[in-house]
Amino acid sequence: AQTVTQSQPEMSVQEAETVTLSCTYDTSESDYYLFWYKQPPSRQMILVIRQEAYKQQNATENRFSVNFQKAAKSFSLKISDSQLGDAAMYFCAYRSGYGGSQGNLIFGKGTKLSVKP
């Protein structure tokens, strides 16, 4: 079974600085997708960034980028120029690329990010 591990329960960053959130996963599959979701106090999960396992290039979305190390099964999220609105819970998630389990996201326990003004 696939597992996702986030080893940092809480992180803190100064506004305008850069922070990296860690995520490791375990799988024997070769076709899969990795995601970072943000969950603010409003509770709604919002997709931050997505990475396809078959792509070697790291995904980037504005201030958010990932460091995808497939062999090490590591998928960290870097937030540059942190803003107060980035404060939230961040969840790393895995989805198999194989039929039958499509739609089944496996989440880590999350990292609570605080942004200091």
Partner 1 sequence: DAGVTQSPTHLIKTRGQHVTLRCSPISGHKSVSWYQQVLGQGPQFIFQYYEKEERGRGNFPDRFSARQFPNYSSELNVNALLLGDSALYLCASSGQGASTEAFFGQGTRLTVV
Q: Which residues bind partner 1 (CB under 8 A)?
A: 4, 6, 31-33, 37, 42-47, 50, 52, 91, 93, 95-98, 100-110
Angle, vertex CA 31, rays to CA 27 and CA 34, nearest 5: 70
Residue with tokens 């880590």, as numbered in its chain: 108
Q: How far is the CB of 49 from partner 1 (least distance, A)?
A: 11
**Alpha carbon distance 100, 28 (integer Å):** 16
Residue whose CB is less far from partner 1, 46 or 84: 46
Q: What is the dihedral of CA 103, 8, 68, 92, to 10 degrees?
A: 10
Residue whose CB is less far from partner 1, 43 or 117: 43
Residue whose CB is less far from partner 1, 81 or 98: 98
